[in-house]
Structure 1
Amino acid sequence: MSQNKQDQNKTAQNKFPSIIVFDVNETLLDITSLEPLFERVFGDRIIMREWFAQLVLYSQTMTLSGLYTSFGNLGVGALQMVATTHKVTLTDSDIVELKERMSNMPAHSDVIPALTRLKEAGFRLVTLTNSPSSTSPTPLDKAGLSQFFERNFSVENVGKFKPAPETYNMVAKELSVDTSELCMVACHLWDTIGAQAAGCRGAFLTRPHNAILSAPNVPLPDFVASNLNTLAEQIILNKEA
């Protein structure tokens, strides 16, 4: 390889991504708004975390098994599973309430200021979610966030859940860029790990109940912060460096 080609490749690798890809559930939208349902049904709002962990586990299990059903269907199934293990009987109205709450989650207080800063800094913003696409008004519409995003991508288009590489590659292909042009922002480390393995940068938001995993061969995120404003500042400063 010529020296000129090597220099071009090095420049491309060092260039900061121009497109910020946001996870939606818990990263942008506050899933603690689901807790009153779990408090009422199970008598303990922390059961919501058990349910969410099962939902993520079985979404990834489906992908590893070459199978697919919507995240919403898995959410209902996971709720029924958790109810069974806790010997609780669900009603149809409980299922309806779960769906309604999932479609009406508010944005975290740090989201709009951070998105505004990133927009003003010249970044292109998109979302990538495990949730299926929905008709307007979407959850992002209801949370007052849709105007910040150029595109909203759902994994349903590839029939695989994050962190499968096909999900991140889909975003890059749809935007006609390489994955190196993408920086994945998520409060789930499994999401940033998957994105980095696919060639993206990773920005990890340590919201409550989420933390770094230190183990051999586990890629550390390029950026880490407990607040989205701070994470946005890190990203902007890196771009300007």
Structure 2
Amino acid sequence: MARPVLVFDVNETLLDIRTLEPLFARWFDDAGAMRRWFAQMVLYSQSLTLAGRYLPFGSIASDVLGMLAAIEDRALPQGAASDLKAASTQLPAHGDVEEGLASLLEQGFRLVTLTNSDSDTQAEQLSNAGIARFFEAQFSVDSVEQFKPATATYRHVATSLQVDISRLAMIACHSWDLLGAAAAGMQPVFIRREGNSQPGFASAGVREVDRIGELAALDW
């Protein structure tokens, strides 16, 4: 059977969002606030899709930061949202990413991305992380104005590549992303990243790897 096209989530799967923690430690006296912010950002992006509305991910990120500060009775410094946006475009790749992607390309895999970030932000993120060159295409949910795990986001990738969706494999460290990908007909693969795990109800039929380079050894 032909190898699938590998579709990579970007934020946290390829790029290390833990580098944002010092900002949250400064603003909230708690580096763990970064995880609370990220979880709420994902929640509200999905809520907007269910409600039939769309805002760019960066706008949601800024508003959720303000919401979290209000909930936790914190006064954000002037320019906090801009500082967060700038830092979000400077996320480094995880240590296994560059070598793993290079190996996959050498072995003949096709590689693309699919992210909740808008197209311009994604391009800046991947370029700054030094990994843009590995991907033949970069897909964003802004093309369909629905956030993952909406089915339309995954189908858009298949349609654009002119590949049957069953020949796409979604690589992500978020089970909510893989649930949507599997429901759309993609092959789901969970990559373990610090701060993430799979709930039992989401793990059936999902293969797992620890590093990007291990994807080549899966029985496709």
1:179 aligns with 2:165: yes
Query: Which secondary structure does the structure 2 equivalent of 1:96 belong to?
Result: helix
Aligned to 1:223: 207
Q: For 2:123 and 2:168, how far apart are their aligned partners in 1?
A: 27
Give the conservation status (yes or no) of the 8 Å contact 2:123–2:132: no
Percent of counterpart pairs with the same letter? 45
Give the conservation status (yes or no) of the 8 Å contact 1:187–1:205: yes
Query: Of residues 180, 183, 193 in structure 1, which corresponds to 2:179?
Result: 193
Q: For 1:111 and 1:220, how far apart are their aligned partners in 2?
A: 26
1:234 aligns with 2:220: no
Query: Of residues 50, 67, 74 in structure 1, which corresponds to 2:53?
Result: 67
Question: Would the alpha carbon gap of residues 213 and 106 (structure 1) be closer, same or farther in structure 2, given more than 3 Å must change?
Answer: same
**Displacement of 1:219:** 5.4
Question: Would the alpha carbon gap of residues 135 and 108 (structure 1) be closer, same or farther in structure 2, given more than 3 Å must change?
Answer: closer
Q: For 1:19 and 1:60, how far apart are their aligned partners in 2?
A: 25
Q: For 1:135 and 1:31, how far apart are their aligned partners in 2?
A: 15
Q: For 2:152 and 2:134, how far apart are their aligned partners in 1?
A: 25
Query: Of residues 120, 136, 141 in structure 1, which corresponds to 2:106?
Result: 120
Aligned partner of 1:195: which letter?
A
Aligned partner of 1:25: which letter?
N
Query: Which secondary structure does the structure 1 equivalent of 2:111 belong to?
Result: strand
1:165 aligns with 2:148: no
Aligned partner of 2:209: which letter?
A
**Displacement of 1:205:** 0.9
1:49-85: CA deviation from partner (whole Å, max 9, x where unpaired): 0000000000000111111001000000110111001
Question: Would the alpha carbon gap of residues 178 and 233 (structure 1) be closer, same or farther in structure 2, given more than 3 Å must change?
Answer: closer
Give the conservation status (yes or no) of the 8 Å contact 1:22–1:184: yes
**Displacement of 1:187:** 0.5
Q: For 1:196 and 1:136, how far apart are their aligned partners in 2?
A: 23
Aligned to 2:85: 99
**Displacement of 1:48:** 0.3
Structure number with bigger Rg:
1
Give the conservation status (yes or no) of the 8 Å contact 1:196–1:219: no
Q: For 2:54 and 2:193, how far apart are their aligned partners in 1?
A: 28
Aligned to 2:76: 90
TM-score by length of 1: 0.87
Matched residues, number: 220
Question: Would the alpha carbon gap of residues 16 and 78 (structure 1) be closer, same or farther in structure 2, given more than 3 Å must change?
Answer: farther
Question: Would the alpha carbon gap of residues 46 and 221 (structure 1) be closer, same or farther in structure 2, given more than 3 Å must change?
Answer: farther
Question: Would the alpha carbon gap of residues 135 and 165 (structure 1) be closer, same or farther in structure 2, given more than 3 Å must change?
Answer: closer
Aligned partner of 2:62: which letter?
V
TM-score by length of 2: 0.95
Question: Would the alpha carbon gap of residues 141 and 67 (structure 1) be closer, same or farther in structure 2, given more than 3 Å must change?
Answer: same
Q: For 1:202 and 1:17, how far apart are their aligned partners in 2?
A: 14
